[in-house]
Each structure stands twice: as C-alpha cells, then as structure tokens.
Homo-oligomer: A and B are copies of this chain.
Amino acid sequence: MNEPLEDSLFEAPPAAEQERMVEAILFASAEPVSVADMNARMPHGCDASIAVRAVQKRYEGRGVAVVRVGEAWAIRTAPDLGFLMQKETVEVRKLSRAAIETLAIIAYHQPVTRAEIEEIRGVSVSRGTVDQLLELEWIRFGRRRMTPGRPVTFVVTESFLDHFGLESARDLPGLQELRAAGLLESRPAPDAEAEEGSEDDQQDGLFDAEEDVIDDSDD
C-alpha cells in the first residue's frame, strides 16, 4: 500500500497516476479540497493544480462535474441531473364529498359563481375546496359575471374532460338520465310527480343556457 509513496521519493508519479489520485481524493472527501491540501496528501513531486484541471476536463459533460469552490475543488452532480436526487412517491386520494359536489355543480352549471354554487349546495364553499380543484386543474376561472360586484365564475377545464372521459361538459348526463341510471334513487314526493314534465323542461333549459355559456368561455 505504501509503495507509491516510496517510489515518489525518487520520482513524481506519471500524470495519469496523479489524476487518479486527485479523483479519489475529491470523491472521498467530505469537503472541498484545496490544491495545497491535495499536494500535501499526494506523493512528493506531484502537482495537484495541473492534475485537477485535467480531471475537470475529463469530467466535462459527464454526470458529475469537478467544480471549483473558492480556493478548493469538489465533485458535484451535474446541475441538469438534480431531478435524480428525488424519489417521488405519488399518493392517490379520493376527492372529498364537498369537492365532488362543488365540481359537479361547476360542471353542470358552468360558468357559475361562488355564490351560485353555495346556493345550489345550500352551504358555503370553503376556499380550500376551490383551491384544490384549481390545483388539480379541473376548474379554472371563467369570465367575470356582468352583474354588480362582477363576481368571477368557474368553468371546467380540458383536464377535467380528459380525466372523466368526456368530450364536452354537455355530455354529462342530465337529471332524467341520472334517474334512469338509478343514481336518483328517491322518487320525488307524489305531488311533485305531476310536475315532472316541467322539471325536465327546466333541465333542458339548463343545457341550453350552458351551450351559450360554453361558447362564451371558448373565446
């Protein structure tokens, strides 16, 4: 193990050998190493300042780079490969009931203001819920409503359609279809049954309105 050290008393190691030494020192050191420190550790006659430049050149374009840190040298990960130092774990969670309902209202009634969502749900919509849907990129801000206060509206996005496998928001099933699919289990009270026709009219009206709205939001 000491042989190179003893040889060196007579003759400096060849350049390639000095480069190996610099490489090993920079690799194993916990801190950047100065040229003086490298020279002190390497056999007599070595010139770390030359060797380190050669090593730096050798690592150009590689996954790690030999960089100068003040008066010292260090090996660092190539800046463009920083993403490898992260291990991403993705956790999929079910959307909360409040968020699903809010999203459904936006999808069926877009563009819709926060006040309108609250009116339909009968409870206030928390900021967190809206933020979450915005972050998921399932909703975005639509045009401001031309009413006092000019409230912002919400509309669903392309990602929303993508995620739910819809071509457009108009493909969302209507109330009648929901009922046919058994999703509206409870039949309305007997006296309300007579009005069913008008109810469906209302539903149609809703979609007519939406069509206009969607056209608006497209420009």
Chain A contact residues, CB within 8 Å of chain B: 1-2, 4-5, 19-25, 27-30, 40-42, 61-64, 75, 77-78, 80-88
Give A3 Cβ to nearest chain B Cβ, in Å: 8
Chain B neighbourhood of A2, CB < 8 A: 83
The secondary structure that dominates the A interface is helix
B83 near A22 (CB under 8 angstroms)? no
Asked if B4 and A63 make an inter-chain contact with CB atoms under 8 angstroms apart, the answer reads no
Q: How many monomers of this protein are in the complex? A: 2
For A28, what are the chain B residues with a Cβ–Cβ distance below 8 Å?
Answer: 77, 84-85, 88
Closest to A2 in B: B83
Pick the contact of A24 from B29, B61, B81 — CB < 8 Å? Answer: B81
B83, A1: Cβ atoms closer than 8 Å = yes
Q: In the complex the two chains form, is A24's CB within 8 Å of B85's CB?
A: yes
Bound complex: CA A62 to CA B24 (Å): 8
User: Do A23 and B63 touch across chains, with their CB atoms under 8 A apart?
Assistant: yes
| Identity of the chain B residue whose Cβ is nearest the Cβ of A86 in the assembled complex | B41
Residue of B nearest to A58 (CB): B62
Residue in B23, B41, B77, B85 whose CB lies within 8 Å of A64: B23
* Chain B residues closer than 8 Å to A81, beta-carbon distance: 20-21, 24
